[in-house]
């Protein structure tokens, strides 16, 4: 119980400070800075429909609101997995059935609630697996990461990372019921984002260590081992459940793959192509062009966690490192088509945040004051810049 109170306290101040920075930056962007063809807004009026609140309703957030309101009537929306818009739908129904405000506000509120409990659970997990001071730094590094803006918006990131951390939390308890809870949470994570299927990796690694590579090997009966392994099937079963739903609703269970490739232009790409295309664009286009800047920034914030994992993977338990590696490989294998986008790495820095063990590596390195100061200076400044760009209608990730 004292550990839980400490986790609440640590999460509360980091959460509050990060939300304050995002909100203040957003206010500056929409009220104090005149925008091209967009007059400055006033923030007076009711919460629902408030013009200042609505400035966060862009890009994927708008798609999730649309799905929450009308389901998958718009077939390209099938590329977005169903759990997050379903949660938004429930929240919007509780607030009222107004399309422009209720579902959107519900998404913002639930996303931030999920992120707060992500911080609480992450602190509890890391305080046990590592140490409390490291857990505190990891919370700070995650909350102020340059792309942590997406834990504030009505995107699926907050729910997805919460479910992933929860799977790790229950895997460390290793009681019979906990294996089933972890499998069920993995099922929900995969219904949120397809990358959730990577949770099979830590589940299986922890299972092997517990039942076959430790003292439990002799003590546990074969039936116990089979019962503990069975929930692993729930994680990929979420994909099958979504396929069955799409087959029932649209008549084509694989419609989401077709829409992903032909409407959103995101397709499988070998890793060498993933990096070769943006490097080629950087070398070919004028150095200060928007194309080069976007590719440079995205490439930098993709390579940052990749290099951190390569250098620091031995600092983590094996199931942490392998999970982060799986998330990275899965995400980097599906990029935008070079024929349809000058920035094939768009959204990839945001997807990489789901590999939360990387922030543990940062937190370990953060024991050194120079690293800590450098990380915070760059991260907080970039978070403010990305928040400003987002509310002024520029693509961030």
73-128: per-residue pLDDT in tens?
999 999 999 999 999 999 998 887 666 688 999 999 999 999 999 999 999 999 99
Q: What is the pLDDT of residue 51?
A: 63
**Residues 221-261: pLDDT tens digits?**
888 889 999 999 999 999 999 999 999 999 999 999 999 99
Please tell me the distance from the alpha carbon of residue 360 to that of residue 312, in angstroms, as a whole number.
Answer: 10
Q: What is the pLDDT of residue 242?
A: 98
The angle at the Cα of 102, spanning 101 to 105, to the nearest 5 degrees, equals 80
More confident residue, 396 or 273: 273
Average the pLDDT over 56-79 and give the result.
Answer: 92
Please tell me the distance from the alpha carbon of residue 330 to that of residue 114, in angstroms, as a whole number.
Answer: 24
Average the pLDDT over 328-337 and give the result.
Answer: 95
More confident residue, 135 or 1: 135
Q: What is the pLDDT of residue 46?
A: 58
Q: Is residue 66 part of a domain?
A: yes
Residues in the chain: 397
Per the CB < 8 A criterion, the answer to whether 100 and 120 are in contact is no
DSSP 30: I
**Residues 119-147: pLDDT tens digits?**
999 999 999 999 999 999 999 999 999 99
Average the pLDDT over 277-289 and give the result.
Answer: 91
Q: What is the pLDDT of residue 41?
A: 59
Q: Rounded to an integer, what is the distance from CA 4 to the centroid of its chain?
A: 24
Question: Helix 176-192 and helix 222-229: axis angle, to 10°?
Answer: 20
Q: What is the pLDDT of residue 37?
A: 42
Residues of the domain holding 233: 2-391
Largest CA distance in the chain: 72
The pair of structure tokens assigned to 194 is 């397809």
DSSP 38: B
Q: What is the pLDDT of residue 360?
A: 98
Please tell me the distance from the alpha carbon of residue 78 to that of residue 72, in angstroms, as a whole number.
Answer: 6
Residue 198 Rama label (left phi>0; alpha psi -120 to 50; beta): alpha
How many domains are there within the chain?
A: 1
Q: pLDDT confidence of 43, banded at 50, 70, 90?
A: low
* Statement: residue 35 has pLDDT above 60: no
Q: Is residue 396 part of a domain?
A: no
* Statement: residue 36 has pLDDT above 50: no
Q: What is the pLDDT of residue 204?
A: 97
* Statement: residue 220 has pLDDT above 70: no
**pTM, whole model, 2 decimals?**
0.95
Per the CB < 8 A criterion, the answer to whether 84 and 156 are in contact is yes
Lowest mean pLDDT among 299-303, 341-345, 363-367: 341-345
Lowest mean pLDDT among 96-100, 150-154, 389-393: 96-100
Residue 287: CB atoms within 10 Å: 9
Q: pLDDT confidence of 28, banded at 50, 70, 90?
A: confident
DSSP 147: T
Per the CB < 8 A criterion, the answer to whether 238 and 184 are in contact is no
Half-sphere exposure in the Cβ direction for 367 (13 Å, CA)? 9
Considering 144-158, 203-217, 335-349, the range whose residues carry the highest mean pLDDT is 144-158
Please tell me the distance from the alpha carbon of residue 392 to that of residue 329, in angstroms, as a whole number.
Answer: 32
Q: Is residue 285 part of a domain?
A: yes
Q: Is residue 397 part of a domain?
A: no
Phi, psi (5° rounding) for residue 334? Answer: -130, 95
Per the CB < 8 A criterion, the answer to whether 102 and 86 are in contact is no
Q: What is the pLDDT of residue 173?
A: 87
């Amino acid at each position: 119980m004292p550990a839980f109170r400490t986790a609440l306290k640590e999460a509360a101040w980091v959460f509050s400070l990060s939300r304050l920075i995002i909100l203040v930056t957003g206010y500056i962007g929409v009220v104090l800075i005149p925008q091209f063809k967009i007059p400055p807004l006033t923030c007076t009026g009711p919460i629902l429909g408030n013009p200042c609140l609505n400035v966060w309703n862009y890009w994927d957030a708008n798609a999730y609101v649309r799905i929450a309101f009308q389901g998958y009537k718009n077939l390209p929306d099938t590329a977005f997995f169903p759990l997050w818009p379903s949660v938004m739908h429930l929240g919007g129904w509780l607030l009222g059935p107004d399309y422009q405000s209720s579902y959107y506000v519900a998404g913002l509120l639930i996303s931030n609630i999920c992120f707060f409990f992500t911080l609480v659970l992450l602190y509890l997990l890391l305080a046990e697996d590592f140490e409390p001071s490291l857990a505190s730094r990891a919370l700070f590094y995650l909350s102020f990461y340059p792309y942590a803006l997406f834990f504030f918006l009505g995107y699926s990131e907050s729910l997805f990372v919460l479910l992933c951390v929860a799977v790790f939390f229950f895997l460390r308890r290793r009681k019979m019921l906990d294996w089933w809870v972890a499998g069920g949470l993995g099922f929900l994570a995969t219904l949120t984002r397809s990358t959730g299927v990577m949770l099979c990796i830590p589940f299986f690694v922890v299972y092997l260590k517990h039942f076959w590579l430790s003292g439990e090997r002799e003590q546990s009966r074969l039936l116990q081992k089979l019962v503990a392994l069975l929930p692993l099937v729930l994680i990929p079963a979420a994909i099958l459940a979504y396929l069955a739903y799409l087959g029932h609703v649209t008549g084509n269970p694989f419609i989401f793959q077709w829409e992903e490739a032909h409407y959103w232009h995101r397709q499988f790409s070998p890793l060498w192509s993933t990096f070769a295309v943006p490097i080629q664009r950087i070398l070919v286009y004028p150095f200060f062009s928007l194309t080069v800047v976007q590719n440079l920034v995205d490439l930098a914030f993709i390579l940052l966690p990749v290099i951190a994992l390569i250098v620091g993977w031995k600092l983590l338990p094996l199931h942490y490192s392998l999970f982060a590696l799986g998330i990275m490989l899965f995400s980097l294998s599906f990029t935008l088509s070079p024929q349809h986008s000058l920035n094939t790495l768009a959204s990839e820095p945001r997807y990489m945040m789901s590999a939360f063990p990387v922030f543990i590596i940062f937190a370990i390195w953060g024991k050194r004051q120079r690293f800590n100061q450098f990380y915070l200076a760059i991260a907080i400044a970039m978070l403010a810049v990305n928040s400003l760009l987002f509310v002024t209608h520029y693509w961030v990730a």
